[in-house]
Amino acid sequence: MLGCRLLVVAILPVLFVAQPATDTPEAAAMRKLLATRLANVDIAEQRLEDALDHLKNVVKTFDYKLDSQGGVSRNVKVSYRGKDRTLSETLDGLLKPVGLETTIISGKNDADNGRLLIKRREGE
């Protein structure tokens, strides 16, 4: 019985790091890009679009789409300060306080395939 428990423990970490089967190569590249470490980010009361464009200048291949149809305003003011954080952690810290979240667009026939969608948080 103990051997079975050890086997399950050894397999579980592999299950959690596996990428979704539906990821396109472009979506997988964005997922990898979100792990990029940023040395220092200091954004104070900037428009959302300006803050995201700043991150796009720092991480050259980062690309995003605002869900304006879903109620995301490019003019909402955002702030974030962080040191040695991933792009994903930075985006979470920037977006959560204003009720937003991200999702990776993945669909080989989708014109926005591989881009990060900024949308309203579920239930907000």
The pLDDT score that the predictor gives to residue 124 is 61
- Are 94 and 44 contacting, i.e. CB atoms less than 8 angstroms apart? no
> Which pLDDT tens digit goes with each residue over 69-121?
999 999 999 999 999 999 999 999 999 999 999 999 999 999 999 999 999 99
The pLDDT score that the predictor gives to residue 4 is 39
Q: Cα–Cα distance between 26 and 5 in angstroms, integer? A: 37
The pLDDT score that the predictor gives to residue 23 is 86
Mean pLDDT value across the chain = 85
Q: Please tell me the class of the 23-120 domain.
A: alpha beta
Q: What are the residue ranges spanned by the domains of the chain?
A: 23-120
The pLDDT score that the predictor gives to residue 30 is 96
**Alpha-carbon distance values, 121 to 50, 68, 71, 95 (Å):** 20, 13, 11, 9
Whether pLDDT at 7 is above 80: no
**Alpha-carbon distance values, 71 to 18, 41, 98 (Å):** 32, 26, 12
Q: What is the pTM of this model?
A: 0.80
